[in-house]
Amino acid sequence: MTKGAPDRDYDDADVHVRPPQRKAAGVPGVVHGLRDVVDQAGVRRGVKTLRLLNQHSGFDCPGCAWPEPGKPHLAEFCENGAKAVAEETTVRRVDAEFFATHPIGQLATKSDYWLGQQGRLATPMFRDTDADHYEPITWDSALDVIADELAAMDSPGQAAFYTSGRTSNEAAFLYQLFARKLGTNNLPDCSNMCHESSGAALSETIGIGKGSVTLADITDHAELIVVVGQNPGTNHPRMLTALEEAKRRGARIVAINPLPETGLRTFKNPQTVRGVVGKGTQLADLFLPIRVGGDLAFFQAVNRTLVGADERTGDILDHAFINQFTSGFDDAAAAWQELDHDEVTAATGLTSRQIDAFVDEVVRADSTIVCWAMGLTQHKQSVATIREIVNFLLLRGNIGRPGAGACPVRGHSNVQGDRTMGIWEKMPDAFLDRLGEEFGFEPPRAHGYDTVDTIRAMLDGRIRVFMAVGGNFAAATPDSERTADALRSLPLTVHVSTKLNRSHVVPGRRSLILPCLGRTERDVQAGGEQIVTVEDSMSMVHASRGTLPPASEQLRSEVSIISGLARRVLGADDSTPWEEFAAGYGSIRERISRVVPGFDDFERRVDEPGGFALPHPPRDERRFDTVDGRAQFTANDLEVIQVPRGRLILQTIRSHDQFNTTIYGLDDRYRGVRGGRRVVFVNSDDLSELGIDDGASVDLVSEYADEERRAPSFRVVAYPTARGCAAAYYPETNPLVPLDHTAEVSNTPASKSVIVRLEPATHP
């Protein structure tokens, strides 16, 4: 273990459970965040860095993609933002000596928490063919290894280039350019596993795959804010500040979730007196404990009720908007008439009274915003569900006016920006045309592999080289054992990373770990100090500039690594000025401004405090770039999830001490869990029916198409989940999610609805 890191790995036998917390954040949130910063970075270094977090002259949080207000608070960060900074500014180092004393096989037995706590990667490391140790390697030799393996491929389609949402716009633009100049669209990214369903549904129905609201729509205008399938208290904590501002202005909030998440109940804003010594702010006015996967049926029932009420009064729907801006209303209305009441009840687990209470909130509000996250996007019918939410918004003209709209909240700081830069296996021809024109080549047109298809292609030998910029592919993906087999079968895996993680210890036969700069660190190139840019959930593009000295002199920036590799692979004759790009990122932004719509005058505008908003035709001018230039009502078929007797629907979730697959700590304070992670939350009435005791040790066994997958030894926690629904943390439960269990249309892993049974633990 590295100096300062926890000496022993944790033991889930130590886990203990208390009643869930009723209030989020507050002074405890500050204490927990600062404790990690001081523990990892030290007081002086830590505080110096936190002062610049999410500030105009500072760096963008490497956590989620919640936007900054026009005037950031002095402390414009949350507990989990502080933890993300602690992890990046840690003084712990994973260097050549560490790898010399830790064989890969031994590291593979460690928990994700232990691996992540070891610190920042300090030097390029190489695993030679089937070796059990990583050895130090020079950057030159490392790029040669990759170039040689790519040159040995029969076709460019045998490589896949993965991106995590931490990658900056500049690096993402060069990465997709490099892959396409090589000849492939194999550009899987973490968005494939998170908001791909949102992008697919919104692109079809309103003509753009992004949310249509601004921060001010929430804080200053919305009368009703619906938070569905999202746990902002843990995954987008500064959203609570915006919700509190809305509440204080008189807005109403409805939370729809199988779990009564603390962050949706009461928020104690540590930047206010009432948040420090007072009782805080109650957020949700109405909480609906919906059954997992019940959201499609819910919004169909709501939409039918709204249409029915309008038939009686004529003043519920926005007929002017529907007539002028939409198409497909009649088909959608006809489909709602077919809805079966019992099916709705079975699917939602809610009563008509609960649905009517929601409709009352809707009818009372002139402007409504719907916010959502993974609780909606990782199901078989996620795309249909989000289409139905758009139906809901269109019925009352809740698009393209203040306080109204769709708000998919992104979970990773630049995941939306990466997609805007061209990181997608199926970019539209218009983008590829402009890219080809700008760089004088014909980009490949055949769609590439998304994340799930990449794993399938690895398993049947169609991929030889897998490269990832950021992320933790082995832990973030479904069907963990199959994914691990897929990665291990490859001649070469390459990971550009800041910290040690699971993917490094599930290597290809040859593997490289290339340590890169973090957001908090100064990025100095031949052309001087560089800034990078990111795009948040609300399409705001802004600059990020690090100030700390790099964790190691051997680190390189993402841009420098990609440019160096591209020149090595594409050769001296390639006309692309990779060296110019690496020397000064302004030259990259100049190209972006000519290839990507909305980035004109990029260099000047990104310097403005807070950056600039990208165009969003539905939001800005109620213009819909759809099949017929109108917003689309859709008719969606409902498939109620059938759960055999004695089974539950499991959703995979994060603990409060977690960001994606990064495990900051072993507590889930809000849900009352301490000191461990292998727990499964189940409703106590379900436990009685199943004859299982609270605190029992069980194996989770998923059932899918005659296949079974087992995840051993989870402690049962009686918890007020919706009936028939269970919840447990990923990545521990990703082995239960079948690779083929994906969402229709978006192919996103359906990690939020897996049929499981609980069996007495084989190894208690």
Q: Which is nearer to ligand SF4, 63 or 443 (CB)?
A: 63
User: In angstroms, rounded to a whole number, what is the distance separating the alpha carbons of residues 359 and 338?
Assistant: 19
Q: From the CB of 456, what's the least distance to ligand SF4, in Å?
A: 32
Check residue 428 and give left, alpha or beta (phi > 0: left; psi -120 to 50: alpha): beta
Q: From the CB of 83, what's the least distance to ligand SF4, in Å?
A: 8
Q: Which is nearer to ligand SF4, 233 or 676 (CB)?
A: 233
Q: From the CB of 300, what's the least distance to ligand SF4, in Å?
A: 32
Q: From the CB of 471, what's the least distance to ligand SF4, in Å?
A: 17
Helix axes 429-439, 169-182, angle to 10 degrees: 80
Q: From the CB of 251, what's the least distance to ligand SF4, in Å?
A: 20
Residue 392 half-sphere exposure, CB side, CA atoms within 13 Å? 29
Q: From the CB of 202, what's the least distance to ligand SF4, in Å?
A: 22
CB 710 within 8 A of CB 700: yes
Q: Which is nearer to ligand SF4, 64 or 226 (CB)?
A: 64
User: In angstroms, rounded to a whole number, what is the distance separating the alpha carbons of residues 201 and 391?
Assistant: 11
Q: From the CB of 206, what's the least distance to ligand SF4, in Å?
A: 25
SS (H, E, C) 260-311: CCHHHCEEECCCCHHHHCCCCEECCCEEECCCCCCHHHHHHHHHHHHHHHHH
User: In angstroms, rounded to a whole number, what is the distance separating the alpha carbons of residues 386 and 381?
Assistant: 9
Nearest residue to ligand SF4, scored by beta-carbon proximity: 81
Compute the chain's Rg from CA coordinates. 25
Question: What tokens does 600 get?
Answer: 């004109």
Residue 142 half-sphere exposure, CB side, CA atoms within 13 Å? 27
Q: From the CB of 417, what's the least distance to ligand SF4, in Å?
A: 13
Taking alpha carbons only, the member of 598, 589, 533 closest to residue 208 is 598
Q: Which is nearer to ligand SF4, 82 or 755 (CB)?
A: 82
Collect all residues with Cβ–Cβ distance below 8 Å to 642 and sequence separation of at least 6.
none
Instruction: Provide the β-strand partners of residue 408.
Output: 372
Collect all residues with Cβ–Cβ distance below 8 Å to 319 and sequence separation of at least 6.
none
Q: Which is nearer to ligand SF4, 36 or 453 (CB)?
A: 36
Q: From the CB of 408, what's the least distance to ligand SF4, in Å?
A: 15
Q: Which is nearer to ligand SF4, 237 or 403 (CB)?
A: 237
Question: What tokens does 48 get?
Answer: 């110096």
> DSSP 3-state helix, strand, coil percentages of the chain (rounded to 5)?
40, 20, 45
Q: Which is nearer to ligand SF4, 66 or 602 (CB)?
A: 66
Q: Which is nearer to ligand SF4, 66 or 298 (CB)?
A: 66
Q: From the CB of 498, what's the least distance to ligand SF4, in Å?
A: 16
Residue 13 carries which side chain, given as an amino acid letter?
Answer: A
Distances (CA, A) of 211 to 203, 370, 419, 533, 620: 10, 10, 14, 19, 12
Q: Which is nearer to ligand SF4, 64 or 423 (CB)?
A: 64
Q: From the CB of 52, what's the least distance to ligand SF4, in Å?
A: 12
Q: Which is nearer to ligand SF4, 461 or 609 (CB)?
A: 609
Say which residue the tokens 């208290």 belong to.
233
Q: Which is nearer to ligand SF4, 28 or 527 (CB)?
A: 28
- 701 φ/ψ angles, rounded to the nearest 5 degrees: -125, 115
Residues that bind ligand SF4 (CB under 6 A): 54, 61, 63-64, 66, 77-78, 80-81, 236-238
Q: What is the DSSP letter of 516?
A: B
Question: What tokens does 362 get?
Answer: 């809707």
CA 271 to chain centre: 27
